[in-house]
Structure 1
Amino acid sequence: MPSFATDVPALLLRLDPNPYHHGTLGAARSLGRAGVEVHALVGSRIGAVGRTRFLHRVHTAAPAAGPGGAPTDAELEGALLAASEAIGRPAVLVPLDDRGAIGAARLAPRLAGRYLLPPVAPLLPARLADKAELSAVCARAEVAHPATVLPGSAREAAHAATELGLPAVAKWSRPWLLPPGLRSTALVRSPQEAARLYERTAEAGSALLLQRRLPDAPGADWFFHGYAAEGGRFLVGGAGRKERSWPPRTGLTAVGTWLPCPAVQEAAARLAAALDYRGILDLDFRLDPVTGVHHLVDFNPRPGAQFRLFTDRSGLDVVRAQHLHLTGRAVPEPRGGPGRVFVVENYALLSALLGPRAGGHTPAAASRGPVERAWFAADDPLPFAAMAAGWLGRCLARGARPAALRERLRTGSAGTTSGPAASAALPSTAGPAHPAPGPQGSQHTEPTPHTERRNPCTTS
């Protein structure tokens, strides 16, 4: 293991309200196992993550008054300064969501002397996290990006959806501002749906963009995590493939594998160099099976929740690399790692039981490397127990029916279940529904594609 400056603590900043954010747990364990004193500043309750033995103290920010529940810069600065006073010495600041990364970069000049941060341009994280800006960023860096339109009216949205090809992908440009009930990304299947979604722009708090949908294909979803220093040069980094996700095909990584991919790695290096990016980043790519080109679909200026997938034999990952680099320690050359598998137990279970069958890309047990689990760890078992208890209670409270899950286990099927068991296990409807005549005049309700649909067991 590299030699860490254990006299310099770390503050994990997470403003997202998800109480089951396994990326926060991964960061606490990674730095805590290295002997670093780890604090966390959260915008709401810490949840199961707070049970880890590697968190020294949890600091809670006051309720936010900003749009979408986000704190204003003044509120965030006040919370960070209060945490700094409690910590008592400068700390490495590690934002774990877009809100935190954007705010920390803007406030960096005023936090000097209190926190150690990568010297990224103050407005760059906000620009990169804004999905409306990403197309231009990719064009300048010569990185492929799906065709994207930013409509200026409901009529333009309807026309753009038709021109791009239906179904089209609809995204809100600044998802951290969304109110409950609106999904950050959805499929629109008709011009009318695109127009109706555009009419919710004021409610969403940011612009709507429409994007050509790249075809689904096994092994099409890739990601890259890295830590960049001066000139956008990666000190550590790696490409991985999403084997399973929750929700299926469009959600977060439930099972991922570290696999070298020159096309993804070269695109990430080109992008970071063009931006002179400094710090941790998480990039999402989708492979177009027709052209064989990987398209960048998302840029997260902070660690992805599955960052622990990219851990070498010495335990080095992007969070440890940031602490080493900002405290003046050498970041060693990574040694080994490809083939590792990362499993998020709760979402992997849902994906296996209720999602489609895995394609032929899942690595065989004989050829894959070590498996790291997001929640369970022999040296830190309480977070897993708290997650499992809370998650089960949430499932039951939201009406999950064990019969549906038992049927999946009995048949061994990961395909689509039909009949009453399936309807019990599918996501419950949130928001308005549009009735459509069913057989013999019955009424069947289907959620609008842009209204949030939640499985009873889903926590984010």
Structure 2
Amino acid sequence: MPSFDTDVPVLLLRLDPNPFHHGTLGAVRSLGRAGIEVHAVVESARGPVGRSRYLHRAHELPAGPLTDAPLLALLREISERIGRPAVLIPMDDRGAIAAARLAGPLLGRFLLPAQPAGLPERVADKAELAQLCRELELPHPATAIPGSAQQAADAAAGLGLPVVAKWSRPWLLTGLADTGLRSTTLVRTRDDARRLYELTERAGSALLLQRQLPGAPDTDWFFHGCFTRGGSCLIGGSGRKERAWPPRTGLTAVGRWLPNPEVERSALRLARHLGYRGILDLDFRRDAHGRYHLLDFNPRPGAQFRLFTDQSGLDVVRALHLDLTGRTVPAPRGAPGRLFRAENYALLSAVATAFTGPPASRSTGVRGGHRDVERAWFAADDPLPFLAMTGSWLRSGVRKGARRMRANAVPHLTRPVPAHPLGTPRQP
């Protein structure tokens, strides 16, 4: 294991109140097992992450949305509780964008990667990402940004229905779950596109319409990496999504570390061009011609980042801590073939696709590679988060089922724009 400066603690920051975010738990365990004191901003200290033996202290999010001023006050308060400078690692897009904006006032309290001004917000913005891909000639789905409801209808028809609709700044939707808005929607008719555009003011950002790239086994890929000065990669790898929830289009329920030179070249080229420093998570989809289109750029760890753990235990959050504390980051010793499984979502995906869905991606592994499994929730040395997740998840499922039954029993006078989620369950 690398030599860590264990006198420097870590604060994990997550502003999206999602109790089932297994990426936060993965970071707690990874850093805690290295002997680092781990703090986390979470929705509830009684949630699954708060039960981990490797979490030194949970700091609960206050109720309601957090603008920059109250967030800065909260982080300063937490810094006083910690008592010494700490590495700050945002675990969602909102947190990454806010941390970059507040980097100046937080100087001396927290260690953060020195990013070009506004970079996390730029790459997380879907419209900015589309423009960036055009500049670099990276494959990206054909995209239209309509300026009116009629333009939205015309663009949807021109791209070829159904089309994928995205809000440019999806992190602004946090707290709007009851409005029916989703970060990503499958638009099937011209009228649906027109009505969705009329919700632009409520969404808080521009509407994008993109040509749909059909999903199939082996088409969805991702890249996770940690970068230092000048966009130099400390550790990184490409992986294939083998199961998703929702099926075919959602978050990674089962993924495998598989070398993919084209995905890796695109990721490294993009990071060097931007001068990116820190952790990133990229999503790609292969089209019928074999080109890998960049779909999303997340300026923080992906939920399945522990998939890319080398033989010495190095992963992206450990590499970032080493880099920001001035320690040497050893050259990674790869372990392709590793499998990541998010138990709750893998179960849902398997059940949903057992009879009607497409087959999962081939899980044959890599010849000569490692075949060990990284589980999102269960760990023999830290069992309480798994037990807490299972109980909370089952209770949440019962509550949602009861609400749907009540809703179906009440006649609706109006119907909202149908939202068919293509993206992951609500994150940053």
Encode CA deviations 1:93-140: one digit per residue, 9 max, x unaligned.
000000100000011111111000000123110111111111111122
Q: Is the 8 A contact 1:340 1:369 kept in 2?
A: yes
Residue 72 (str. 1) matches residue 67 (str. 2): yes
Q: CA RMSD in A?
A: 2.5
The change in CA–CA distance for 1:270 and 1:316 in structure 2 (over 3 A counts) is: same
- What residue number does 2:323 align with? 325
| Relative contact order higher in (CA < 8 Å, ≥ 6 apart) | 2
Report the Cα distance in structure 2 between the residues aligned to 1:340 and 1:123, rounded to whole angstroms: 35
* Length, aligned pairs only: 416
- Where do 1:232-381 residues align within 5 Å? 232-289=231-288, 291-355=289-353, 356-363=357-364, 369-381=371-383
The one-letter amino acid of 1:311's match is T
**Cα drift, residue 368 of structure 1:** 5.8
TM-score norm. by structure 2 comes to 0.92
Report the Cα distance in structure 2 between the residues aligned to 1:357 and 1:134, rounded to whole angstroms: 30
The change in CA–CA distance for 1:453 and 1:209 in structure 2 (over 3 A counts) is: closer
Q: Is the 8 A contact 1:170 1:209 kept in 2?
A: yes
Residue 99 (str. 1) matches residue 89 (str. 2): no
- Where do 1:106-185 residues align within 5 Å? 106-178=101-173, 179-180=176-177, 181-185=180-184
- Where do 1:413-424 residues align within 5 Å? none
Report the Cα distance in structure 2 between the residues aligned to 1:161 and 1:19, rounded to whole angstroms: 36
TM-score norm. by structure 1 comes to 0.86
Q: Is the 8 A contact 1:19 1:45 kept in 2?
A: no
- What residue number does 1:395 align with? 397
Structure 2 residue aligned with 1:449, among 412, 418, 426? 418
The one-letter amino acid of 1:16's match is D
Q: Is the 8 A contact 1:92 1:115 kept in 2?
A: yes
Encode CA deviations 1:312-337: one digit per residue, 9 max, x unaligned.
01110000000000001111111121
Report the Cα distance in structure 2 between the residues aligned to 1:451 and 1:338, rounded to whole angstroms: 34
Q: Secondary structure at the match of 1:111?
A: coil
Report the Cα distance in structure 1 between the residues aligned to 2:411 and 2:276, rounded to whole angstroms: 42
Encode CA deviations 1:32-70: one digit per residue, 9 max, x unaligned.
000000001235666211100011011123334xxxx3x
Report the Cα distance in structure 1 between the residues aligned to 2:127 and 2:191, rounded to whole angstroms: 22
The one-letter amino acid of 1:297's match is L
The one-letter amino acid of 1:385's match is L
The change in CA–CA distance for 1:57 and 1:305 in structure 2 (over 3 A counts) is: same
**Cα drift, residue 448 of structure 1:** 4.3
Report the Cα distance in structure 2 between the residues aligned to 1:339 and 1:453, rounded to whole angstroms: 27
Q: Is the 8 A contact 2:223 2:263 kept in 1?
A: yes
Report the Cα distance in structure 2 between the residues aligned to 1:247 and 1:146, rounded to whole angstroms: 21
Report the Cα distance in structure 2 between the residues aligned to 1:364 and 1:241, rounded to whole angstroms: 11
- What residue number does 1:63 align with? 63
Report the Cα distance in structure 2 between the residues aligned to 1:176 and 1:240, rounded to whole angstroms: 25
Report the Cα distance in structure 2 between the residues aligned to 1:433 and 1:138, rounded to whole angstroms: 43
Q: Is the 8 A contact 1:243 1:358 kept in 2?
A: no
Q: Is the 8 A contact 2:301 2:316 kept in 1?
A: yes
The change in CA–CA distance for 1:125 and 1:216 in structure 2 (over 3 A counts) is: same
Q: Is the 8 A contact 2:45 2:59 kept in 1?
A: no
Long gaps (5+) in structure 1: 401-422, 436-445
User: Taking every aligned residue pair, what percent have the same amino acid on both sides?
Assistant: 63
The one-letter amino acid of 2:207's match is L
Report the Cα distance in structure 1 between the residues aligned to 2:399 and 2:149, rounded to whole angstroms: 38
Report the Cα distance in structure 1 between the residues aligned to 2:413 and 2:164, rounded to whole angstroms: 20
Q: Is the 8 A contact 1:44 1:61 kept in 2?
A: yes
- What residue number does 1:404 align with? none
The one-letter amino acid of 2:171's match is W
**Cα drift, residue 203 of structure 1:** 1.2
Residue 201 (str. 1) matches residue 200 (str. 2): yes
Encode CA deviations 1:227-265: one digit per residue, 9 max, x unaligned.
011111111000000000001111100000000000000
Report the Cα distance in structure 2 between the residues aligned to 1:127 and 1:433, rounded to whole angstroms: 40
The change in CA–CA distance for 1:305 and 1:260 in structure 2 (over 3 A counts) is: same
The one-letter amino acid of 1:363's match is T
Q: Secondary structure at the match of 1:295?
A: strand
The change in CA–CA distance for 1:88 and 1:310 in structure 2 (over 3 A counts) is: same
Report the Cα distance in structure 2 between the residues aligned to 1:246 and 1:186, rounded to whole angstroms: 15
Report the Cα distance in structure 2 between the residues aligned to 1:108 and 1:122, rounded to whole angstroms: 10
- What residue number does 2:218 align with? 219
Q: Is the 8 A contact 2:44 2:50 kept in 1?
A: no
The one-letter amino acid of 1:398's match is K
Encode CA deviations 1:194-214: one digit per residue, 9 max, x unaligned.
001001111111111000111
The change in CA–CA distance for 1:78 and 1:43 in structure 2 (over 3 A counts) is: farther
**Cα drift, residue 76 of structure 1:** 1.1
